[in-house]
Amino acid sequence: MIQDIDTQRFATRLIATLAGLILFSACGKTDDTAFTLSSISFEDWPLTDCSTSTRPVRDLVAYKLLGIPYQWEEDWMGSPTYIITPKFQEKETSFSYNDYLARNLCSGTHDAYMNLIDGKTDVIIASRDISRNEKTACAELGVELKTAPLAIDALVFIVNPKNPVKNLTSDQVRKIYTGEITNWKDVGGVDHAITPYIRNADSGSQEKMETLVMNGLKMIDGTEETYMFEIIGSQMASPYLQLENDEYGIGYTPFFYCTAMVRDLMRVNMLSIDGVAPSKESLRANKYPFVSSIYAAVRKTEDIESTAYKLYRFLFTKKGEDIIDESGYIAIR
């Protein structure tokens, strides 16, 4: 019975994904022969925003188009991650890094959508599509957004490297996060209670967890141990920081954030799900169960001649796709 439900859910997600991609290919994709954008001056650069996990691809697009040298390096000022940073010392520009940051925010998934809805920004690259709460905000303000899948990502589950469990089934993941499975011995591990860490509501990871994995099932309520707003739920790096010291915990995070941004800075293991390890190959082939997409979005009222709309359209050209691939994401081609 459970297998039938999982099969039905997978088929439903696959049909919806294919339908979305067909529709997008008909009205969203742009051929280089029909549209090109070699550069935009900083004076005309639109206001952009992004999720924490999509910051590298947003910045890489900006640095490429604005002609700013860049490199991957550890983020000494923020979370223990790698980010793409500009090298202004190598090229004279008419603007400073502070000027750049003022026009290119990184507000997080929910706030990025809200800033776009409120007219505070013009283009966003977010870790997911618009949520129910954000659609409600659109309806209240009379705003419509144009969103489209930009690249492939996935939701992965991470544990401490000392944890002997290497694989969980989709159903076991759901039972852990509904509280039905509470001990690692029930999934092939040691006899010890599981600490399932959760994220804050409206975060990209939490929205994907609820819609992509839980499929409407009620998740456990956060406790002082599993959800402390400033320590566990509110930061992308929070589950990693906990799992480094918690041999019996489990958390979830975007594949790209784990493999391209965290890398070797924090030690965790990604679990296989249903016998499939998360990798670029399994994501591209849609074999990993919890494949998702990152999205680009603009307001539907945006003038098609505006630099904001041109930037949005550029993301879906061959040149835009190449930049997405360079960032570490998998462009939807």
**What's the mean per-residue pLDDT of the chain?**
87
The tokens for 66 are: 């604005």
Query: Closest Cα to residue 113, out of 98, 102, 129?
Result: 129
Confidence of residue 238 (pLDDT cuts 50, 70, 90): confident
CA 278, CA 161: separation in Å to the nearest integer?
A: 16
Query: Closest Cα to residue 181, out of 167, 166, 168?
Result: 168
| Distances 108 to 175, 187, 192 between C-alpha atoms, Å | 29, 34, 34
Confidence of residue 223 (pLDDT cuts 50, 70, 90): low
| DSSP secondary structure, 174-224, as one string | HHHHHTS--BGGGGTS-SSB-EE----TTSHHHHHIIIIIITTPPPPPP-T
Query: Closest Cα to residue 319, out of 49, 31, 46?
Result: 31
CA 62, CA 156: separation in Å to the nearest integer?
A: 28
The tokens for 55 are: 């910051």
Confidence of residue 14 (pLDDT cuts 50, 70, 90): very low
CA 188, CA 116: separation in Å to the nearest integer?
A: 46
CA 11, CA 124: separation in Å to the nearest integer?
A: 30
Using DSSP's 3-state secondary structure scheme, residue 213 falls into helix
Q: Specify the fold of 155-284.
A: D-Maltodextrin-Binding Protein; domain 2 (3.40.190)
Residue 182 near residue 325 (C-beta atoms within 8 A):
no
- pLDDT tens per residue, range 277-331: 999 999 999 999 999 999 999 999 999 999 999 999 999 999 999 999 999 999 9
Only one residue has tokens 């991470």, namely 158
For the cut 60, the answer to whether the pLDDT of residue 82 exceeds it is yes
Only one residue has tokens 């890094």, namely 97
Least confident of 17-21, 139-143, 210-214, 242-246: 17-21
Least confident of 3-7, 134-138, 221-225, 261-265: 3-7
Find the mean pLDDT for residues 16-22.
42
If one compares 54 and 34, the residue with the highest pLDDT of the two is: 54
Residue 158 near residue 323 (C-beta atoms within 8 A):
no
Residue range(s) of every CATH 3.40.190.10 domain in the chain = 11-152+293-331, 155-284
Residue 113 near residue 126 (C-beta atoms within 8 A):
yes
Confidence of residue 129 (pLDDT cuts 50, 70, 90): very high
CA 213, CA 219: separation in Å to the nearest integer?
A: 11
CA 59, CA 104: separation in Å to the nearest integer?
A: 8
Find the mean pLDDT for residues 75-101.
92
pLDDT for 164:
98
For the cut 80, the answer to whether the pLDDT of residue 166 exceeds it is yes
Query: Closest Cα to residue 89, out of 71, 101, 74?
Result: 71
Residue 150 near residue 324 (C-beta atoms within 8 A):
yes
pLDDT for 231:
40
Query: Closest Cα to residue 68, out of 45, 88, 48?
Result: 88
CA 192, CA 161: separation in Å to the nearest integer?
A: 16
Query: Closest Cα to residue 236, out of 213, 216, 266, 210?
Result: 266
On whether the pTM is more than 0.75, the answer is yes
- pLDDT tens per residue, range 251-291: 999 999 999 999 999 899 999 999 999 999 999 999 999 99
Only one residue has tokens 């900083």, namely 42
- pLDDT tens per residue, range 239-248: 898 898 899 9
Percent of the chain whose pLDDT exceeds 70: 84
Q: What is the 8-class DSSP label of residue 150?
A: E
CA 157, CA 18: separation in Å to the nearest integer?
A: 25
Architecture per CATH, domain 11-152+293-331, reads as 3-Layer(aba) Sandwich (3.40)
